[in-house]
Copies of this chain bind each other. A is one copy, B any other.
Amino acid sequence: METGSGRNRSVPTLEMVAALAGVSRATVSRVVNASPKVNPDIRAAVNEAIATLNYVPNRAARSLVSRRSQAVALVVPESTAKVFADPFFASVVQGIALSLAETDFTLNMIIASESRSEKTRRYLLGGNVDGAIVVSHHSGDHSYAHLGQALPIVFGGRPLTGADDSYYVDVDNDAGAATATAHLVGLGRRSIATIAGPQDMPPGVDRLNGWRHSLQSAGLDDSLIEVGDFSPESGTVAMRRLLDRGVPIDALFAANDQMAAGAYAAIRERGLRIPEDIAVVGFDDDYFGATATPALTTVHQPAVEMGATIAEVLVKLIEGTPVERVTRLSTKLMVRDSA
Binding site for B on A (CB under 8 A): 2-7, 9, 11, 56-61, 63-64, 67, 69, 71, 74, 76, 81-82, 84-87, 90-91, 93-94, 97-98, 101, 106-111, 113, 116, 122, 125-128, 150-152, 232, 261, 287-288, 291, 317-321
Contact = CB atoms under 8 A, between A and B. Distances in A.
Contact of A287 (B81, B106, B108, B287): B287
Given A60-B63, A64-B64, A107-B108, 4 more contacts: A5-B320, A107-B109, A287-B288, A288-B291
A59 B152 contact: no
B60 A69 contact: yes
A60 B56 contact: no
A111 B128 CA distance: 21
B151 A7 contact: yes
A132 B152 CA distance: 28
Give the number of times this chain occurs in the complex, counting copies.
Answer: 2
A101 B111 contact: yes
B125 A56 contact: yes
A5 B317 contact: yes
Contacts of A320: 2-5
Contacts of A67: 6-7
A127 to B, nearest CB: 6
Given A7-B150, A109-B109, A91 B98 contact: no
B106 A108 contact: yes
B128 A106 contact: yes
Contacts of A69: 59-60
A84 B91 contact: yes
B87 A85 contact: yes
A4 B321 contact: yes
Given A126-B58, A127-B59, A151-B7, A116 B101 contact: yes
A109 B291 contact: no
Contacts of A111: 94, 97-98, 101
Contacts of A61: 60, 64
A74 B4 CA distance: 21
A116 B122 CA distance: 33
A93 B80 CA distance: 13
17 contacts: A5-B318, A56-B127, A58-B127, A59-B60, A60-B60, A60-B64, A81-B94, A82-B94, A84-B91, A84-B94, A94-B111, A97-B110, A98-B111, A101-B113, A108-B109, A261-B291, A291-B291
